[in-house]
Each structure stands twice: as structure tokens, then as C-alpha cells.
Structure 1
């Protein structure tokens, strides 16, 4: 965390000074806003949190609830989400209160006594070590609390406006605020009154029954698996030995259970298989009493005792897999020709089963993807064409998620004898959970994601996939840290320069690149950063040398990697790193010893890989998505 460069800070440095629209922010919802977000769920809150970092953009987020969510229905936070929370500064706090899921135990009928279940194996949750973070379970209302705290401490002093229910919207053909939204107050002294807001852009993150989605004529299309599950959060006394371990349990004749331990040491969630649903059921399965679900769970757990003492929450759902054909309001025959004004995210745009833990996790990546893009367009950093990449990228990911989730739901619904062997079930689980952890997402070529011509220079950083962190040594203070953790959700692009074998100060490709970045009008620093702002205000440039940190003379490092920041124009020494002898990032991530440039988007996805001397290609790539400022 960097502070003091604007003057001495004696209070919590996470609380940023108010700026722009955060100075004297009105309590009441204004009549005109830049961005109106409908729905304070995961997708909406992360988008709002990202936009809270743009001081001159008026963003408001409304929700029909009278106040904060108290009981979240999603409990699983996948590893990719924890990486994202690190960017927003609360991963460590959340991990301290959450349950860490480190392995999954598999149970099936005992061959000698099939009416009983027996543990047959355990598998690591991350057998390929694709992230340094754990898989967590925690009330997702706490995640929303942390996002609310982040935006409250941001320059814009943003907070949710509770007690407003979406009624309708219209989009005009012209005007600075072309989207007119009618809201109904649902709480407070003015409950029942209408409030009209005019916005430049609207994000509908208002759930599977989204009014925003219906208002722009989008429809969720897909299928139901005609299979029902009862889900319960329980406090129970039991002699089942793996009650604090994630379990996939198959019984002989009563179906299956997916058991998820929850935070706090005692609570756990059980997804209980209720079997196939008759075509003429007409929703009757959803009225299954919780006592009946408990009884089935007790039979599945046999011979172990399950004495339920308290049901914190329960529900019944049929597995559904549905997706919108487009995630904004542009007609399909006008894509690329018309500016989108209304967007949908999260359950408003895609739904799937709860067991793969993708509802909240995928929704947050929707909001993260869109938030910075809206910020860049509204702030004049990027052309409006950037907004078209949101639907193009996230709709495809939504389809990929549904395809994988459908496979997992089908596997979980199978009877134990349907598998050729237990190993077949275990391997199916491992294949699907790797995707569910969030690391198979890969965006295709676009104005912000290159085609991969030079991918071989950094094979461990596939273009379109998330930037995978690794440990390095910060040269200035000999601190060993994760490179990826230094990238915060501040809306900046990252340019990582992995140096060639030459030392700092020697005539080399790294030195030449540094000189170009510092001096050329075509460089991101000089050509695309507004005059008067910090040199790294829009593009955060870092260098990683191959030598040990003690062999890097920071006085010889090119100026481009030592930006001047703050009103006192202090030199930032903390953008210079060195490889570690025991965990060399060059070897770990397949980076060519001749060096490479790795460009990373504000949402942490790799956008381009280039040779150190490819300054013309670097300039052309930046020019495609950034507006020249100087």
C-alpha cells in the first residue's frame, strides 16, 4: 500500500480522500447520473466498487431491499474470486473469517454392506497448484459488506441506495442522459412514491427475474435438467467423520449429497438429491417440507447419525441452465454499429446450478469486466466501442459455464452404479472443478486482447487468461512478495517488462525500451496519460530483472520504471523487482530469457505479449483502445 506521497497520513490509509463527486455527495438519489446500477448483488456491487475509483463519474447503485443483505444464498468463493478480492484489498480479512476448503472426500456404498456409505478417496482441491489462494466458503453477504466498505472509503464515497425497486426504463435516441429509469420507493417515509432517474448507462444486476432484462427485450433461454435438489444450512450433532470436509456422497438408493462445510466451525450446507421431477409436476417439488429433506439426508448418511439441531436456511430448486443471447441492449443486427446503453450481468444474464459455485463467482467477473470499461469510456480514456467487448466476452463465458455446469449436474445426479468405476467419477469431478475455480476463462481476440503472435515469449501467461501471480523480490527494500498482488482494482492497465539478461544500466533491449517509454510521444506514459497527472496514473509499468536483487543497481534502472508521483513529485522505487533464486518467475511462467513485455488489463487478464523491441506493436495495441491525451 502506497501513501504519504500527498502528505503525512496518520489515520487508516485505506480511506482515500474524497475527490470529485465524493466531495459533498448528496444523500438523496440524484435525478441524473452517469451510471445507474440496479441490484446490489455480487455483480452490481463489484461494478460499483470499481467505478468508485473514478472520482468524476456519478455512479449510484439501487436495491429494492430496505438494507444490507443478511443471509447470502451463495457460500462458495472460488480461487479466482479470492484473487479478485486481493485487488480490492480484503482477501486477507475474508480468509480469516471463512472456512478453507482444501480437499474433497468421496463416499460411496460399501461393497460389503451397500446400505452403508464408506469413504473411498480424497482429492486435493487444487491438485495442479494453479493459485496461491484457497477455496473458501462464507456467507456471501459478508463479501457484499467488504465491497460496500471499499466503495465507502473510495474518493467518490459511494454507498448503496436501498429501498428502490425498478419499474421500467426507456432509451432515447439522443441526449447526454438517454436512459430514463422509473423507480418505486419501497422503504422509508416516502415508500410508494415514484422516482425518475436519467442515466448515461444502466447496469441490470437484479437477478434471474430481472426487470432490466425484460425492459430491453432480452430473454433467458435454456433447459432444466428435470432434477431437483434440497439445500439446507444446518447445525447438527453427528458422528460422520468428514462433516468439516467437502464431500461428494453417493448412496445406494436414496440419491446423493454434496456436503459443503461453512465458516465458523459448525455450520455446513447439504445439497440433497431429491430425484427426477415429473414433467407434470407444476412446481410441487419446490414445496417439499424441510423435514422430508432432512429424513432423506439421514438415510444417505447411514450408518452415521445426523441429529439436526437448527436449520439456518433451506430451499428446493430444480437445476436450470439458461443464458441470454446478448448482454446489452444493442439489437443483434446492429452489434458494432450502435453504442450500448443498458447492460445485464449475473443471474440477469445467465443461470446455472448452485453446486458448481458459479452464481456469485461468475457474476462478480461480469461486474469486474464491465466496471472499468464504463469508467474508461466516461472518463475519456477509451472510445465507446470498448463497451461492445463486454457482451462479446462475457456471453461466451456464460455459455462455457453452462456447458460445464450441465456436465457436473448430470454427473452428480447419476446413481453410483452408472459409473464404470469410482475413479471415473473422481476424474469427472477434477475436470469440472478446475473450470469452476475460475481459471479456464479465456477471452478471444478483440481491441483489448491480442491474437497471440508472440505467445511463445511468455507461455505461462496465455493471452486472454488471468495473470497468474508468482513471487519476486522487490529491489528497493528486499521484500519477497507476489507480483500479482501489487495490482489493485484502481482501473489502471499494467505493463510488466521482464528484462533480458543484461544488468540494469547496461546497453540492452530493456534499457532501450525504458528510454522509449519515457521519451516517445507514442508510449502509453507520454502519449496517453493526461498532463498534470502522475506518470503512472493510467499505465502502471513494472520491470522484473533476472539477476538477484542484490545485483540490481536501482540507480541504473531506466527512469520509466521509477515514476514521479504526488504533488511533491517523489520517485516511486517500488516498481523494480528481481527474480528469486529458488522460485525464478522466468522459469515458472515460461518467459523467454531474451525478455518479454506482458500487458495486463485492469480486470487482471493478459492482453498482449510482445518482444522488448516491439515498440511499434506496443504503440499500435494501445492506440486501439486508448484515446491520446497529449
Structure 2
């Protein structure tokens, strides 16, 4: 029997595999396809996810593989008609060093995560399609279309919006169709456009429709020679994903000729929807990523929320499996992540409908767990700007960068009662969770030991204590 079976080798499943591997958890990632996902679909990495990737040891590779989002260039009748900024500007600061989203095609993100998982001794079994499972008090038995069953203490369903495991468990999803119009997304090679802009081709303003059906966007994918093509069609349209079909759409909606599209490397169509699983857990099985929540791609929230599901669940599974925390700790996964997913779903839908700009909210730095049963704020008179449940900001204390001190699978003790921390922390004692959120905060350390025993925070590492690299 293994400790954890993760079903699905997308960004969520791979991130969870990395977190478990660095904790010494015996885990296997199983993927139904024969290879990693080949397309660019989730290409936006938000600042909070970049902080997660910093901790997981992949940020340098991610930054080298990606780039900043280009300025949108609006075209009309073959001429440049003006610029469009996709995101509200943001400045990096000491407490938030990653201010802007980074563009990395999803296939490249997954390659980097897979390489890191392999480096840590983790495993991905490709060509393993789940067809069923059964649970008992001691574990879960998962059946596959080919190959032997796998027996695990816990299973995580990270197998996408059409999750086989979620359906097998009978967990429903509540949601809505955000947009009934089918949308084409394709990775292509083409000529005739520069790579300095995200090229936007609005529909003919004299035509029918809501101003978005007939829309075409062609975005250079950072770190590659490819462009991502996105086109929206009237409801009921059968989308042609072939090279000829993509050529016709591009030629009809832009000044490019059909032959300017030289290759289609990957293509898919979808109808934007928003849905939330009715629950994130059934016994020893947890839902994460798209298996738990499905987003409109607007605002770049889905992949990022899934990675952060994994980041929340990984340390809890590790603590329980190693006997450092009671099994009841696992109940806080749904308690914390389902409300976050619900809020982010609303945000994604609002961005899709043009009601909300891509700005502070979509960067996900403000998400937290103040209402969680794991968040214990004991300062009653003046709790300060950073409280229990909040993301723990970066900064420097006694020459030590906090994100370096936090990096790794441990809890971290930050004592700033002498006022040596960055101003954003105020004053107090903070116990930082392994996923970078404040678990406990107090004016002094009184009461912290009891909290630490309850959540499995054995021997938290003081900020002044090296090493700071990921084991």
C-alpha cells in the first residue's frame, strides 16, 4: 500500500506530487494519457502561484521559460487602431516581490513540474485510466482500465473538470454556463504578426451580436515560437479544429492570409462554464483543481487555484501520514479551500463578463483563511495588519529574507516583538504554516505551544536558523 495516489498529472496533481515527495510521503501520480498535456490552455501564472513555485523549487525554471504579458494591439481593417492593457499595473515591493502575472504555456509549466517531481524521486505512471474505486476503513483501492489495482491510504482526484473519480463518488457540481458560445483555442505557427503584442481583432461593429462573437485574439506564447489563437463563435456552431478550419477563421477575421497559418500544434474547443463540487472530500478521497471547481479562463484563475489546492492539502496529508497531526486536520482542507474556490469562481465569471478588471483580486495575494479553525489570532487589543489566516508577506529580518526562511516543508517561527520585522507585520509572534499562511499570532508566545501541538507544528524553525533551501 502506498501513502497517496494522485490521479491526474496536470499542474495541480504535479504540484501535489512535488509537495508530498519533499515530505518523504510515498506517493504515485497516475495519468490516463500517455504523455503530459500538450497545449497552452492555462498560460497565466498569478503572483501568489509564483510564490508557491518559489517554495517548491521551480520558480527559476518557470521564469526562464516564460515572460511578461504583451500589450494588446487592436486591429481594424488591417491597421493598428490602438492599445489595450490586459492587466492593471502593479509594482513589486519588499513584501510582494512578484507583482505581475507571468505567461507560461501550460505544457511548459507541466514539463517543469514533472522534472522537479522526478528530481525529488517522485513518479508519474502514464497510460493509467481510472475506471473505479472502493473504500474501506484502512484505505482506497483504485481500479484501472489496464494494469493492476493500486491500494493507497488516501487518494486525490486531480483528474480535471470531467473527473472520473468525482463521478464515481457521486459528488455533484453546482454551477452555470458562463457563455453558451463555443470558443476555439489553438497553438499555431504563423507569419505576418510581430511577437511584441497580443493581437486583437474585434468583430465588425456594424454586425449583429454582443461585440464578442466573431472576436479573434492571437497571442505570442512567451518562450516559444508559437501563437495562441482564440476565437469565439455563435451558439450552436460546430468548431472545425483542423488546420484548414483554423486558417479559415484567422483569414476571415484578420488581415492575414490562410497560408500565413503554417501549422496547428494543438487545438480544442470549449464553452465557458463555472461550477463548484458540492463537497471536496468523500472519506479518504479528496477533490482538487478542476475536479473540484471549473472556471471560465478569463482572468487566469483556474490553474492557479488548483495549484493552491495542492499546496494546502500537501502539508496536511504529510503531517497526518507521519503522525505529527491528528486525522481531523484533513477536515480543514475543504473548510479552507471550498470557500476560496467559490469566491474565485465568482471573480472569474465577473472578469469574463467584463464587470471586473484584471487587477489586485486576480493576483490572488489577498486570499487567506482568517475564518478557518486553523487560524488562531490571540492579539485582542491591536492585532496589526497581518493576522492569523493571512498570507505571510516577504521581507527581511536581521539580514534574512523571509521567503527563504519559509521555503521548505517546515513551520516557521517569526518573533517580531522587538520591532525588527518589515513594517507590514507590525509587532508580535507569528507561527507560519508550511503553505505560507499565518497559523497562530500573539503579542507574546503564550498559548502557542498548545496550538502547535494541535496542528502538528513540531519544532518550528526560527527565522534566524539556517538552512533556508528546500530539502
Output the TM-score relative to the length of structure 2. 0.85
Query: Which residue in the other structure is 2:110 paired with?
Result: 144
Query: Which residue in the other structure is 2:376 paired with?
Result: 450
Deviation track 1:126-185 (CA, whole Å, cap 9, x = no partner) reads: 42547423422223233333333333333xx2211223221211112x3xx331221232
| Change beyond 3 A, Cα 1:318–1:628 | closer
Query: Which residue in the other structure is 1:405 paired with?
Result: 348
Structure 2 unmatched runs, 5+: 208-212, 460-471
Query: Which residue in the other structure is 2:313 paired with?
Result: 370
State the SS of the aligned residue for 2:228: strand
| Change beyond 3 A, Cα 1:455–1:244 | farther
Query: Which residue in the other structure is 1:466 paired with?
Result: 391
Superposed, 1:579-590 pairs within 5 Å as 585-586=422-423, 589=424
| Root mean square deviation, CA, Å | 3.1
Please give the alpha-carbon distance, in whole angstroms, between the structure 1 residues aligned to 2:71 and 2:105: 20
Please give the alpha-carbon distance, in whole angstroms, between the structure 2 residues aligned to 1:358 and 1:290: 29
Task: Report the structure number with the largest CA radius of gyration.
Answer: 1
1:435, distance to aligned residue in structure 2 (A): 2.5
State the SS of the aligned residue for 1:73: coil
Query: Which residue in the other structure is 1:318 paired with?
Result: 271
Aligned counterpart in structure 2 of residue 625 of structure 1, from 445, 455, 458 = 455
Please give the alpha-carbon distance, in whole angstroms, between the structure 2 residues aligned to 1:610 and 1:473: 21
Please give the alpha-carbon distance, in whole angstroms, between the structure 2 residues aligned to 1:433 and 1:62: 36
State the SS of the aligned residue for 1:52: helix
Superposed, 1:514-529 pairs within 5 Å as none
Superposed, 1:383-394 pairs within 5 Å as 383-394=326-337
1:445, distance to aligned residue in structure 2 (A): 2.2
Q: How many residues align?
A: 448
| Change beyond 3 A, Cα 1:314–1:462 | farther
Please give the alpha-carbon distance, in whole angstroms, between the structure 1 residues aligned to 2:193 and 2:239: 30
Deviation track 1:477-533 (CA, whole Å, cap 9, x = no partner) reads: xxxx6422432242x1122112415xxxxxxxxxxxxxxxxxxxxxxxxxxxxxxxx
Aligned counterpart in structure 2 of residue 118 of structure 1, from 81, 94, 99 = 81
State the SS of the aligned residue for 1:364: helix
Aligned counterpart in structure 2 of residue 351 of structure 1, from 288, 294, 299 = 294
| Change beyond 3 A, Cα 1:622–1:258 | farther
1:115, distance to aligned residue in structure 2 (A): 8.9
1:248, distance to aligned residue in structure 2 (A): 5.8
Query: Which residue in the other structure is 1:60 paired with?
Result: 28
| Change beyond 3 A, Cα 1:470–1:263 | same
Please give the alpha-carbon distance, in whole angstroms, between the structure 2 residues aligned to 1:92 and 1:140: 16
Please give the alpha-carbon distance, in whole angstroms, between the structure 2 residues aligned to 1:86 and 1:606: 18
Structure 1 unmatched runs, 5+: 1-31, 186-192, 330-339, 412-424, 475-480, 502-544, 547-584
Output the TM-score relative to the length of structure 1. 0.65
1:215, distance to aligned residue in structure 2 (A): 1.9
Matched, 1:171 2:135: yes
Query: Which residue in the other structure is 1:260 paired with?
Result: 219
Query: Which residue in the other structure is 1:237 paired with?
Result: 191
State the SS of the aligned residue for 1:616: coil
Contact 2:49/2:304 (8 A) holds in 1:
yes
1:70, distance to aligned residue in structure 2 (A): 4.5
Aligned counterpart in structure 2 of residue 601 of structure 1, from 429, 433, 438 = 433
1:472, distance to aligned residue in structure 2 (A): 5.2
Please give the alpha-carbon distance, in whole angstroms, between the structure 2 residues aligned to 1:216 and 1:179: 12
| Change beyond 3 A, Cα 1:407–1:216 | same
Please give the alpha-carbon distance, in whole angstroms, between the structure 1 residues aligned to 2:458 and 2:48: 33
